[in-house]
Chain A
Amino acid sequence: MLPTAVSNDPLAGVAEFRDQFIRAYRFMLHARLLDERLASLYRSGKIFGGVFLGRGQEALSAGLGVCLRQGDVFAPLIRDAAGRLAFGEHMIDSIRTYLGSPLGPMRSRDGNVHRGRPKEGLLPMISHLGAMISVVNGMLMARRMQKRLGTSVGAACLGEGGTSTGAFHEALNQAGVERLPLVMVIANNQYAYSTPTNRQFACDNLVERAAGYGFDGHTVDGTDLGECLETLQKAVDNARSGRGPQMIVAPLLRLCGHGEHDDSSYIDPRLKQSELGRDCLEIAEQRLVAEGWLSGEEIGRSRSELLAAIDETISTVQRESAPNASAESWQALSTVSLRDMSSGTEMA
């Protein structure tokens, strides 16, 4: 499917789409390879907590990331390694956070997917599903009050399970009331941990909720990068141009466990065989080759270059020293004069 042309020259539109597709594909590949390396570190016991992969969701995630630009707000979730890279997160932030390096953005205090750089518009998720959306709203509201919203947008990601929270409902209603440039991306990967969709919600398609919140609703095949790019670009453009909040629902299948500890034996084999179970990375590669945009050799070269860069970054981080508990401030307040020096943790 060809894109809606951005310029008047249809050939320029095609070239632009091709470039965006290739860019997004590289982030998908990078995320997939990084995820696989993190999974193997997990299996060899080198990671303290869990590892959560985005396998099968890279097209949607990278697609969103390349539609965003500097100055936007992005609140990724568990399975957004690809979108994060596309938004500009360096992979060393991910590796340092997984390995608990004090040099990472979370300084050993938080781990794995709970990372970000709020001042750069990349929000570090808290675990509580649905909680990030209203924070994005607040950032957009603040920018509007400060008269510097311009054409920036905020994007938030969530799984279909997270849409059952009160926080999701409150935040979407709030974005609708304030008519914010919020882009809400819902990856319906058919399972929330082990819970299938029929135990999660009762409507046919979650996008039906969009109207109730005053959002434009879009559904897109989450396994197809081309379609994801087209739909996400339209939604992001709508939000940028003041058309209010946008909801995108993308059916796909989680091609991994909930975390690497989970063998996901509960996933219905018929889903794996269905269209939903297609691997978005393979489909994107087939298209790249079919369109003549990248050759098999070029893809192979990208793969080895990315792997080398990932391995080098992992070795760098593995050489970094571990955090030192006695050097920690153990203070949760920023206001030095308000730190409670007698909090009962030590002998007076």
Chain B
Amino acid sequence: MSITYLDAIREAQDRALKDDPRVFIYGQDVGAFGGAFKATKNLAAKYPGRVIDAPISEDAMVGAAIGAAIEGMRPIIEMQFADFSTVGFNQMVNHAATLYWRTGVPCPITIRLPSGGTSGGGPFHSQSLETIYAHFPGIVVMTPATVEDAYGMLLSAVAIDDPVIFCEHKYLYYHLKASSLPTESLPIGKARIARQGRDLTVVTYSAMVHECLAAAEVARDEGYEVEIVDLRTIKPLDTDTVVASVARTGRLLCVGEAWPWGGVSAEVIARVTAEAFDLLDAPPQRLNAKDTPVPYHPNLWAAHRPTAQSVAQSMLRLLRL
């Protein structure tokens, strides 16, 4: 049996609906149609009245999820693309994120954001918006990089009593396969060592984990062993695992598909520099998408975001410093 990252997301939702009557799914085209990416295929028929088509109203979708959570439900909201979540931004960052702190009433909602670039996606179907959500207190931001994590972390997202922004990467939907679904997973908030090494720590997450793993093979050919830390959740950020890795390697490169300004890579570097400056043998570096909207043509897109080739170049440059 072979299970894709997308299958894992559907299976996790199937299981959440099956195990917990408080769970329902609300989003555009998620019902009989099964969602733009088919992440809810067959679920409406299997769970009548619990997989609900929404009007094109991201603000009201999230608002309704907050209300349902107050009444004891555990809604999953599917944004059709992460890019459209900005229309629901106010409810997410000002309402869901503040509810527990203001009132003591938790807000267990999961908002799925089909994120990141795919060839031909263009400026409005490619964005990686994890940073802006992580900026706001009161939100957990998950960025799974593997089929196993897509499944396990989505189930955790639904179980957690706080609002979770679940950034699932569209590029991984079909590309990534596993032989079976996991029966257990690392705790939420713990990073994972995706590859062990001694010469350089690369901190990354989501689809970039795979570009970095490929780049690490290029570095190996040059005689270097690169350690790759997959953050899994960017908020909370597992600083301990990152610092422990830097203690082993003395060098840090952060890689993200999101834009550079004030992003996850900036946050990781700020923390490592503040907390472990004396462990660093070279200035920490980062590699992000270029600071422009995401371009449409594959030639431009491939140059806009980090790839195995550009990551490998950054790794080697830093290793030779």
* Residues of A bordering B, CB below 8 Å: 105-107, 109-110, 114, 116-119, 123-124, 126, 128, 131-143, 145-146, 166-167, 170-171, 173-174, 177, 331-335, 337-340, 342, 344, 348
8 A-B pairs (CB sep. < 8 Å): A116-B103, A126-B94, A134-B59, A137-B63, A170-B63, A338-B162, A338-B236, A342-B271
CA of A170 to CA of B54 in the docked complex: distance in angstroms? 11
> A110, B71: Cβ atoms under 8 Å?
no
Q: Could you tell me which residues of chain B, from 8 to 49, have a CB within 8 Å of some CB in chain A?
A: 24, 49
- B85-120 vs A, CB cutoff 8 Å, 1 = contact: the mask equals 001001100110111111111100000000000000
Chain A residues with CB under 8 A of B71? 138-139, 142-143, 146
Known: A170-B60, A332-B137. A118 touches B105 (CB 8 A): yes
> B235, A340: Cβ atoms under 8 Å?
yes
> B60, A348: Cβ atoms under 8 Å?
no
> A139, B70: Cβ atoms under 8 Å?
yes
* Residues of B bordering A, CB below 8 Å: 24, 49-50, 54-55, 57-73, 75, 87, 90-91, 94-95, 97-106, 137-138, 140, 160-162, 187-189, 235-237, 239-240, 267, 270-271, 274-275
> B103, A118: Cβ atoms under 8 Å?
yes
How close is A323's CB to chain B, nearest CB, in angstroms? 14
Chain A residues with CB under 8 A of B97? 332
Q: How many A-B residue pairs have CB under 8 A?
A: 156
- Majority SS of interface residues in chain B? helix
CA of A188 to CA of B315 in the docked complex: distance in angstroms? 63
CA of A167 to CA of B90 in the docked complex: distance in angstroms? 9
> A142, B102: Cβ atoms under 8 Å?
no
CA of A103 to CA of B24 in the docked complex: distance in angstroms? 35
Known: A137-B60, A333-B140. A170 touches B90 (CB 8 A): no
Chain A residues with CB under 8 A of B70? 118-119, 123, 135, 138-139, 142
> B102, A167: Cβ atoms under 8 Å?
no
> A133, B161: Cβ atoms under 8 Å?
no
A170-B57, A348-B274 given; name 7 further pairs at CB < 8 Å: A118-B70, A138-B70, A142-B73, A170-B63, A335-B162, A338-B162, A342-B271
Chain B residues with CB under 8 A of A119? 70, 105
> B236, A339: Cβ atoms under 8 Å?
yes
Among B63, B66, B137, the one with the most A-chain Cβ atoms within 10 Å of its Cβ is B63
CA of A6 to CA of B162 in the docked complex: distance in angstroms? 45
> B55, A141: Cβ atoms under 8 Å?
no
Chain B residues with CB under 8 A of A145? 24, 49-50, 68, 73
Chain A residues with CB under 8 A of B66? 135, 138
Known: A116-B103, A118-B70, A139-B70. A128 touches B94 (CB 8 A): yes
CA of A295 to CA of B222 in the docked complex: distance in angstroms? 97
Known: A131-B94, A173-B57. A138 touches B103 (CB 8 A): no
Known: A167-B59, A335-B162, A344-B274. A139 touches B102 (CB 8 A): no
CA of A327 to CA of B104 in the docked complex: distance in angstroms? 16
How close is B110's CB to chain A, nearest CB, in angstroms? 13
CB-nearest residue of chain B to A340: B236
> A139, B67: Cβ atoms under 8 Å?
yes
Partner pick for A146 among B62, B72, B91, CB 8 A cutoff: B72
CB-nearest residue of chain A to B67: A138
Chain B residues with CB under 8 A of A137? 60, 63-64, 67
> B55, A173: Cβ atoms under 8 Å?
yes
CB-nearest residue of chain A to B97: A332
Partner pick for B64 among A116, A135, A339, CB 8 A cutoff: A135
> A334, B106: Cβ atoms under 8 Å?
yes
Known: A124-B102, A145-B73, A333-B100. A342 touches B90 (CB 8 A): no
CB-nearest residue of chain B to A137: B64
Chain A residues with CB under 8 A of B106? 334
> A337, B189: Cβ atoms under 8 Å?
yes
Chain B residues with CB under 8 A of A338? 140, 160, 162, 188-189, 236
How close is B276's CB to chain A, nearest CB, in angstroms? 8
